[in-house]
């Protein structure tokens, strides 16, 4: 998997950009979680029907991030092997990284710096 740079980093905080770029998949430590074009704020993490899930809460512009739109309120199931716990999270929000067909690469819980 290769990260895409479609100009979405031009106005980004360099520290935040470095954080996004440093994230590696917890179950495939040689593979990136990808980047801002694959990242959505996904809060309200918890069990739904016995499965770890979060709810898309991202109202940021999709076009400037080069990503497909996912409706606010969409529930995303998070495979347990995709939970990321080792890099903190300077956004203060839950962040799910997923492919265009909604395969989850990583979920980073809110909190931590």
Structural domain span for residue 49? 36-108
Check residues 54 and 5 and name the one with the higher pLDDT. 54
pLDDT band per the 50, 70, 90 thresholds, residue 10? low
Torsion of CA 37, 57, 12, 106, to 10 degrees: -50
Residue 62: what pLDDT? 93
What's the start-to-end Cα distance of the chain, in Å? 26
Judge whether 7 lies within some domain: no
Find residue 84's DSSP bridge partners: 108
Strands annotated E in 1-113: 24-25, 28-32, 39-48, 51-56, 75-77, 83-84, 95-98, 104-108
Say if residue 8 is exposed, middle or buried (CB neighbours under 10 Å; 0-12, 13-18, 19+). Answer: buried
Residue 16 reports pLDDT greater than 50: yes
Residue 33: what pLDDT? 93
Q: Note the pLDDT tens digit of each residue in 36-80.
A: 889 999 999 999 999 999 999 999 999 988 899 999 999 999 999
38, two tokens: 């694959």
Judge whether 95 lies within some domain: yes
pLDDT band per the 50, 70, 90 thresholds, residue 85? confident
Find residue 98's DSSP bridge partners: 104
Tell me the mean pLDDT in the region 12-16. 80
pLDDT band per the 50, 70, 90 thresholds, residue 86? confident
Overall number of domains in the chain: 1
Judge whether 70 lies within some domain: yes
CA nearest neighbour of 36 among 67, 74, 71, 78: 67
Question: For the chain, what percentages of helix, strand and coil (3-state, to nearest 5) are there?
Answer: 15, 35, 50
């Amino acid at each position: 998997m290769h990260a895409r740079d479609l100009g979405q980093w031009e106005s980004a905080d360099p520290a935040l950009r470095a954080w996004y770029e440093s994230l590696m998949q917890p179950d495939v430590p040689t593979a990136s979680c990808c980047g801002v074009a694959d990242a959505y704020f996904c809060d309200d993490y918890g069990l739904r029907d016995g499965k770890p899930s979060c709810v898309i809460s991202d109202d940021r512009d999709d076009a400037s991030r080069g990503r497909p739109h996912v409706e606010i309120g969409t529930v995303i199931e998070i495979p347990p092997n995709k939970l990321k716990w080792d890099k903190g999270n300077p956004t203060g929000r839950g962040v799910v990284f997923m492919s265009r067909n909604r395969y989850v690469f990583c979920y980073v819980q809110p909190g931590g710096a």
